[in-house]
Amino acid sequence: MSDETRVTEAEDGAEMAAEDAELPTENDDEALDESEGEEEGAPENVVRFPGNATDHAQLMRMVEALLFAAAEPLDIDSIAGRLPEGADVGAVIEDLQKLYEGRGVQLVRIANKWMFRTADDLSFLMEREAVEQKKLSRAAMETLAIIAYHQPATRAEIEEIRGVSVSKGTLDVLMETGWVRLRGRKKTPGRPVTYGTTEAFLVHFGLENIGDLPGFDELKAAGLLDGRLPPGFDIPTPSETGGEGDGDFSDEEEEYGAALDDHLSQDKVDED
């Protein structure tokens, strides 16, 4: 082989080696991309949307997630600020409303803002009933005791026994509690309404009937009566049948309604 041939082959080998050194590998491409990103100074907190972020179904999922996680209602601008540029937020909201229509949770607009809320017809599921303990005033307890022992008793009779007028609302509180009811009309001039105890009163105090209330001797033995009682002091024997002259209400609702009107009108007179 001549010297000229050897020189040509050496030159060809050097050129091939130089080309191989210039060709980037796959790993080199990844490293190059990373180095370019670092050189450009791309921020690390850039929001990267999914590849199909402009798809309408994907936009609905994104808005659904925003509204579900929001602690307060969101307006259109707040929602649009989180979505890809150019997203039709109005169309997305409208379709979400249709999607949740008839479900237990619905998308509603409040003060031009949007939020998920429990369906109105299911609000009863969120209610919790609790028994509120009320402490009766001394006036209410005295009035209740007078009604229990002297029933059927009119308002005037209650005031006469207590020695003071019945303040507005005292009888109302006892009636709202369910321990006192309108009994009937007294067969006296003016036909005033009378008051008596209810079955709920017996249940609460553990009585089989009203006659089981403690009498004079029992109250005195229990120390509930003052030892210096006035002469002739006595406690009547309570009775559910009513005293002489008590007229029960008829089955007609109008008569009971008129009696209730009398009860309320008396409260109004006291207030005036």
- Pairwise pLDDT comparison (240 vs 18), residue with the higher score: 240
State the helix-helix crossing angle for 138-150 and 155-162, rounded to 10 degrees: 120
**Percentage, residues of the chain above pLDDT 70:** 60
As a whole number of angstroms, the distance between CA 75 and CA 89 comes to 10
Residue 222 has pLDDT above 70, yes or no: no
β-pairing verdict for 113-118 and 193-197: unpaired
The verdict on domain 56-126 having CATH code 1.10.10.10 is yes
As a whole number of angstroms, the distance between CA 170 and CA 91 comes to 59
Going by pLDDT thresholds of 50, 70 and 90, the confidence category of residue 217 is confident
Look up residue 101 and give its two tokens. 């229509």
Residue 268 CB-half CA count within 13 A: 6
Is the bond into 50 cis (omega within 30 degrees of 0)? Answer: no
- Pairwise pLDDT comparison (163 vs 39), residue with the higher score: 163
What are the structural domain ranges in the chain? Answer: 56-126, 138-271
What's domain 138-271's architecture? Answer: Orthogonal Bundle (1.10)
Residue 100 CB-half CA count within 13 A: 20
Residue 269 has pLDDT above 60, yes or no: no
CB count in 10 Å sphere of residue 26: 7
State the helix-helix crossing angle for 138-150 and 170-177, rounded to 10 degrees: 70
DSSP at 246: E
- pTM, 2 dp: 0.46
The per-residue pLDDT for range 47-84, each reduced to its tens digit, is 566 666 668 889 999 999 999 999 899 999 999 999 98
User: Which residue in 135, 115, 118, 137 sits closest to 126, CA to CA?
Assistant: 118
Q: What is the per-residue pLDDT for 207? A: 83
Q: What is the per-residue pLDDT for 62? A: 93
Q: What is the per-residue pLDDT for 7? A: 45
Please say whether the beta carbons of 101 and 85 come within 8 A.
Answer: no
Q: Say which residue the tokens 């191989």 belong to.
A: 20
User: Do 138-271 and 56-126 have the same topology in CATH?
Assistant: yes
Average pLDDT value for residue range 202-216: 82
- Pairwise pLDDT comparison (235 vs 212), residue with the higher score: 212
β-pairing verdict for 113-118 and 180-186: unpaired
- Pairwise pLDDT comparison (56 vs 15), residue with the higher score: 56
The per-residue pLDDT for range 134-182, each reduced to its tens digit, is 788 888 988 998 888 888 888 888 888 888 888 778 888 898 888 998 8
CB count in 10 Å sphere of residue 7: 10
- Pairwise pLDDT comparison (40 vs 59), residue with the higher score: 59
Q: What is the per-residue pLDDT for 85? A: 86
